[in-house]
Amino acid sequence: MPEVAELKDLATQQQSVRSQLIAAQTETSDIAREQDKLESDVDQVRQRMTRDQQRLDSGAVTSAKDLESLQHEVGSLNKRQRDLEDVELEVMERLEEAEKKATVLGAEQSRLAAAVEDTERRRVAAHAAIDKDVEHAQRERATVTPDVGEELLTFYEKLRAKLAGIAAVSIKQRRCDGCRLDLSVTDVDRIRSAADDEVIRCEECRRIQVRTAESGL
């Protein structure tokens, strides 16, 4: 059944998407953690700057040297804040990218799940149709076998095991329906002279040949 091959292929795709999604989700949470850390760093710098600014504004620091060093510190904190914010911006872009990737993969995962469901439904239906065909064939067979006779039936089953499940075929327009080869003149003569209940077989594929109105004989 083609559905079985499709399901196998879908399973492979699902596995690949699943691992890619896990990787994208891991990346997302790693970057988010990085972002948290940066935010807390920026926060610390801001607090320290506020504290320094308050000290400057309070007028409590009077020594020129202390004032200079405090102002110097505020200057470097400012620069540090700007640097951190630049990094934060870059991290946010990376986070957005990773989240987008995870969203696309998530959608792909849903699409594959729907495809699996659909294919599985078709597989079950195809299977049911085959079961029905088998049931029908078995019913037909049951009506025919009593007339065939034990010995011929045993021979037929043995032949069927050897010939890929097809032991008896019809002759259509002087052509064997098993090997699809045309009958030779000798074959036609042989078959024509055979009794109606005689079991005749194809010289080529060795299958039992059944004569019908369409055999052209």
Name the minimum Å distance from CB 149 to Zn ion: 23
3-state secondary structure the chain: CHHHHHHHHHHHHHHHHHHHHHHHHHHHHHHHHHHHHHHHHHHHHHHHHHHHHHHHHHCCCCCHHHHHHHHHHHHHHHHHHHHHHHHHHHHHHHHHHHHHHHHHHHHHHHHHHHHHHHHHHHHHHHHHHHHHHHHHHHHHHHHHHHHHCHHHHHHHHHHHHHCCCCCEEEEECCEECCCCCECCHHHHHHHHHCCCCCCEECCCCCCEEECCCCCCC
Closer CB to Zn ion, residue 14 or residue 170?
A: 170
Name the minimum Å distance from CB 159 to Zn ion: 12
How many other CB atoms sit within 10 Å of the CB of residue 177?
A: 20
Closer CB to Zn ion, residue 178 or residue 215?
A: 178
Closer CB to Zn ion, residue 123 or residue 175?
A: 175
Closer CB to Zn ion, residue 168 or residue 179?
A: 179
**Cα separation of 18 and 175, whole Å?**
54
Instruction: Quote the tokens at residue 112.
Output: 């594959």
Name the minimum Å distance from CB 138 to Zn ion: 25
Closer CB to Zn ion, residue 80 or residue 156?
A: 156
Name the minimum Å distance from CB 182 to Zn ion: 10
Name the minimum Å distance from CB 170 to Zn ion: 11
Name the minimum Å distance from CB 178 to Zn ion: 4
Point out which residues pair with 209 in neighbouring strands. Answer: 169, 200
Name the minimum Å distance from CB 209 to Zn ion: 7
Closer CB to Zn ion, residue 1 or residue 161?
A: 161
Closer CB to Zn ion, residue 101 or residue 201?
A: 201
Nearest-Å Rg of the Cα atoms of the chain is 42
Give me the residues that bind Zn ion (CB under 5 A), please.
176, 178-179, 202, 204-205
